[in-house]
Structure 1
Amino acid sequence: MKTSSTATLPIQWRVTPLAALVATLMATTPLQAQTLRWAAQNDVLTLDPHSQNHTTTTAILQHSYEGLTRYTRDYKVEGALATEWKSISPTQIRFLLRKGVRFHDGSPFTADDVVFSFGRIKSPTSTMQAYVAGVSEVKKIDSHTVDFLLSAPNPILTRTLVDFRIMSKAWAEKNKTTAPPNVANKEETFATRNSLGTGPYRITGWQPEQRITLVANPDWWDKANASNAKEVLYSPIKSDQTRMAALLSGEVDLVTDVPTQDVGKLRNDARLKVVEGNEVRTIFIAMDLGQDELRNSTAKGNPFKDKRVRQALSLAIDRAGIQKAIMRGLSQPAALMVPPGANGYNKELDQVAKADPERARALLAEAGYAQGFELPFNCPNNRYVNDEEICQALVAMWARIGVKAKLQTESFSTFTPKIQGFQFQFHLYGWGVPTYDALYVLQSLARTRAGGADGNYNYFRLSDARLDTLIDDIKTEIEPVKRNALINAALTRIRDEVFFIPIHYQVRPWAMKKNISTLHRSDDKPEARLTTLGP
């Protein structure tokens, strides 16, 4: 018997020990005993675990909905709703499910729920298909055994399954929510505002843009390691000033979106402490590479189809200036779409060009845009660190080379359905790597959109045959050296063709009261099981 402490597929059975669990989080009411009050800048998009691939949403829902696997403190993989797994063949992986687990309504968790959840996450309306990429079928063997049948060997299956969350088949059928709604069409189902999982907390209420309440599940299967936080209150507070005032006044205990300009002051406050670390997230500019004609632009045709225009837009950006003046050092200028901390990142490839407006203007002239052009530029104002300020700086930098970007900002809750409706042609976006492997970035963003996980977040109409071949080979290559060589080739092509314009990798500081102890997570998903409340 072997402990499942690595991400690769097993040769023998893997048995996972129960992780040491402890909890935490937030709210905006007078402090209750064993209550954690957590604030950040943006709200969840839904309570449906198979609908929206959005970090804040998955960070909250992981407390209610669980996967077959989960991460340890050092990002290795261990069992959650599955206790053991083994390879029957390179394309057939058998999982033994944890017995005695019950959903929050008391109904038992079985193989039927896993099979049902697989069908649900594979729905065309789901944006979560990357988490079951390469899985052709989930087959029930008995009440607590399932086989995952793969289209080809999958070197990171147990990592992707961390965010494949299991929903009750009976509950979903009873409430007529057997498929996620179409968010781009502003649809909702019962699961949009209600939840029923197996996890350490029950979500008892969601008032959009105000509060989410969670209470401890006394019947959690891992209650021996449960947190001392019996209640979690999450408050989305968009305003930096208001969010910081809530922390300084004691109204909240933990803030995970700390304005960069306040970090130094918070470090010097004896009542508080700051923990920080690199986040596995790249902030970048996306362009519509497929349309023949841009909407609401003075440019003829689509200038983004010309590599020289893309190069010019990138060369106009003073990334070091953004790092210093806007991010106050809490970022790392980027040349790649895969950040440090994720498998496949290569420091040698991550060579950031210095800003060169003169060369940028020359490239625009070579491309036939010597007079520049105007076009809309869209940006969220409450999702990424200093997102609106970054966009304002970019507008000024592009203006110097003759590109007049007309900035339009809005809340991420309305920004997201517009992206998914292909309404944006030029916008700022961010992409994290919850699997800690480059394939998640490449397949979701850079692969030609082909259904399922292939290009499921490619709202940029990017289609490159060479890149598609590399990504398809990365999916199935088991040998690590060969696989990383393929990843390097894909990242190099994206960089050299400027299919995206990376700005920086985020550094994420969290601030909290002295009595809060938590492990900083580079996926920016605070976990109750990794947090404790002191006296």
Structure 2
Amino acid sequence: MSPTPALRRTALGLAAAGAVLALTACGGSTAAPRAASSGPEIVTSTPAPVGDVEKITWAIPTEPASLDWIVNADNSTSMVTSNLCEGLFRMTPDMTLEPALAESVASPTPTTRVFTLRSDAVFHDGSPLTAEDVVFSLNRISDPDSGSFWTWPFDNVERIEATGPLEVTITFSTPDALFESFLASPVGVIERAATVEELGDAYGTPKGGVNCIGPFSLQQWDPGQSITLERDEDYYDERYRAKSETFEFQFVRDPSAIVNGLLAGSIDGTWDLAPSAVKRLSSSGVGTVFYGASRQGYNAIVMDPTGPLADRTVRQAVSRAIDREAIISSVVGGAADEQRAPAVPGTWGYEREQFQAAWDEIEVGRTDLAAAQELLDQTEAPNTPIVIASTTAEAQTPTIAAEIQSALQKIGLEAEIRNIPADQYYAVYTDPEARKGIDLYLTAWGTDFADPTQIYQYFTTGNIYNFSGYSDETYDGLVATAAATDDLPARAEAIIEAQRMIVEESLWIPIYAPYNTSFLNERITGSPTAYVQLLSPWAAQLGAAE
């Protein structure tokens, strides 16, 4: 998991909890979701920089536990390593994927991928990239005995071989069209084998550091204070050449301290602004708040399939009763779109027209109190309270819980809010005992890449995040078909039908899709605005505004 101000539930955010997810293949560009006319304006990028700067200071809310890529499981760490340690693929500013250390990839058979590596890439110590380093890195992160949080993407992998000095061949037991998308995440990070072996337990620590390939190298790690990167002058890709000589990540846990630092100029920028911060910073005159597309959605997840929400019709009524517009206004200051299905528009990396047409037809995810009451009239209402879990670990959760409780009371359903201590709220992901007594669990969840397939895999039979135990052979077959095919229209068709089934079940009640927020002061510019900060060298793009 990734304990940021609003926890990002994705493969990246859930790896520490032992996630069993699948990532996604992308094709075509990913446009931003359509913003409401009264809401903030979504932009695709900040203005291009006019030159270099000597230093940029950036706030992140937590200190990385390690920079070792195989145990990377939180947002703050990924914001650092995405600029420090490159993978075989990377995410672009528009949330699509492109080759990075893998110059190209071929598929001579449905179960074979052949990667040709770049010949001009060197590690931070000047050593050239080799196929042996790639094989070592992939084997290390796929080895359960290594302590890796990322073994599950290799479920279909039979072997990884160096088949040339700059060529690596991966053989699969069954076609896996989604595997390449993993390679833009920590799964695809490549480290020099000799460095890991020489440093041993010190690898990834303040004492040992890392020796990756990326636009920045590690200059200094001051525990409890900051991590400073410096520009790697030998980095191979001129498009992502770092525009600042050094880039300092300060660890600032208190959101108010971040805002004060931004206002004072001691901090140049940050991601993931709290609504209260947006209000202060937007009118400060010292910089600009930017809104970008995201692949995240905020949901009320049904935890107990035998309790008061056992009846699908009741679940649908709950969905129709929730006032999404009121929640968006009060929780995120209008910086979100209403959500109608578990996978939000930001995940549509291909066949957008197909997905949009299906989205427009969804009724269960639209607020309509009269329709909610009509649904309840068709069935027997529950005679026990619906328990809504809440926590102060996420600032928005108590407000959302209260809004849902109010909505349910309006249609005659009894609801109570159970406040769970911050250190226990996330235990539901791994501990069935922690789920007991909870009917609705409030959380943000999204995809690592622009493909909704990842979200809908959570509802397949036996998936670790299939909390309600939903099981349907037809559904499982649709998702399996989508995950195995490179035919994007066919994948979209399968996932849209799977989405229809899940929306009708209302096991995840969608609430809103938040925008990605960031702040830059007046002296810097150039960063992307979309939710790419965990898988793209965004810091390298920041430079002088004038």
User: Do both proteins adopt the same fold according to a TM-score greater than 0.5, normalized to the shorter chain?
Assistant: yes
Distance 1:190 1:459 in 2: 36
State the distance in 1 between where 2:459 and 2:329 align: 30
Distance 1:173 1:202 in 2: 19
Q: 2:133 aligns with which of 106, 113, 133?
A: 113
Q: How big is the shift at 1:67?
A: 1.0
2:525 to 492, 512, 517: 517
Q: Answer yes or no: is the 8 Å Cα contact 1:137–1:150 preserved in 2.
A: yes
Tell me, in whole angstroms, the C-alpha distance in 1 between the residues paired with 2:422 and 2:344.
Answer: 26
Structure 1 contact 288–462 (Cα < 8 Å) conserved: no
Task: After TM superposition, list the pairs within 5 Å mapping 1:174-185 onto structure 2.
Answer: 174-176=198-200
Note the C-alpha offset of 1:392.
Answer: 4.8
Which residue is equivalent to 1:530? 541
- Are positions 1:171 and 2:195 aligned together? yes
- Give how far 1:349 is off: 4.1
Q: Give the Cα separation in 2 of the matches to 1:227 and 1:265.
A: 30
Deviation at 1:497, TM superposition (A): 0.4
Q: State whether residues 23 and 529 of structure 1, in contact with CA within 8 Å, keep that contact through their aligned partners in structure 2.
A: no
- Cα distance, 1:407 vs structure 2: 1.9
| 2:100 maps to amino acid | A
What is the identity, as a one-letter code, of the residue corresponding to 1:65?
Answer: C
The answer to whether structure 1 residue 438 and structure 2 residue 456 are counterparts is: no
> 1:490: how far off?
1.1
Residue 362 (structure 1) shift: 8.0
Q: Deviations over 1:112-152 (max 9, x none)?
A: 22223323333456444575574443221023210122344
| 1:205 aligned onto 2:229 | no
TM-superposed deviation, 1:318: 1.5
1:483 equivalenced with 2:503 (yes/no) = no
2:161 is the alignment partner of 1:139:
yes
2:344 to 339, 350, 353: 339
Could you say which residue in structure 2 is the equivalent of 1:66? 86
1:247 offset after TM fit, Å? 0.8
Deviations along 1:452-501, one digit per CA (max 9) or x if unpaired, are xxx46556655443322211110122332222111101111111101212
- Structure 1 374/214 Cα, relative in aligned 2: closer, same or farther at 3 Å? same
Counterpart in the other structure of 2:44: none
Choose which of 321, 325, 338 in structure 2 pairs with 1:320.
325
Do the aligned partners of 1:64 and 1:197 also contact (CA within 8 Å) in 2?
yes
Structure 2 portions without partners, runs of 5+: 1-24, 29-46
C-alpha distance in 1 between matches for 2:133 and 2:388: 48
- Equivalent of residue 468 in structure 1, options 476, 482, 496: 476
Distance in 2 between residues matched to 1:419 and 1:116, nearest whole Å: 31
Instruction: State the shift of 1:534 in Å.
Output: 3.8
**Structure 2 equivalent of residue 274 of structure 1:** 289
SS at match of 2:329: helix
More relative contact order, 1 or 2 (CA 8 Å, 6+ apart): 2
Q: Percent identity?
A: 22
> What whole-Å deviation, never above 9, does each CA across 1:50-78 have from its counterpart, x for those lacking one?
33454443232211221112233444433
Residues 364, 68 of structure 1: CA spacing in aligned structure 2 closer, same or farther, 3 A cutoff?
farther
TM-score, normalization: structure 1? 0.77
Q: Is the 8 A contact 1:433 1:523 kept in 2?
A: no
1:95 to 115, 121, 129: 115
Residue 245 of structure 2: aligned partner: 230
* Cα 1:464/1:106, change in 2 over 3 Å: farther
* SS state at 1:274 partner: strand
Q: 1:95 Cα shift?
A: 1.1
- Structure 1 residues 440 and 376, CA, compared in 2 at 3 Å: closer, same or farther? closer
Distance 1:35 1:23 in 2: 17
State the SS of the aligned residue for 1:231.
strand
- Map of 1:296 onto structure 2: none
Gaps of 5+ in 1: 1-5, 10-21, 25-31, 178-188, 291-300, 450-454
Amino acid at match of 1:141: T
The residue type paired with residue 221 of structure 2 is G
Structure 1 segment 11-410 matched on structure 2, within 5 A:
34-41=54-61, 44=64, 46-124=66-144, 126-128=148-150, 134-163=156-185, 164-176=188-200, 191=204, 194-203=209-218, 204-205=220-221, 207=223, 210-222=225-237, 225-263=240-278, 266-289=281-304, 302-343=307-348, 345-346=355-356, 347-351=359-363, 352-354=365-367, 356=369, 359=372, 363=376, 369-374=382-387, 376-378=389-391, 380-381=393-394, 386-394=396-404, 397=407, 401-410=413-422
Structural RMSD (CA): 3.7
What count of residue pairs does the alignment treat as equivalent?
478
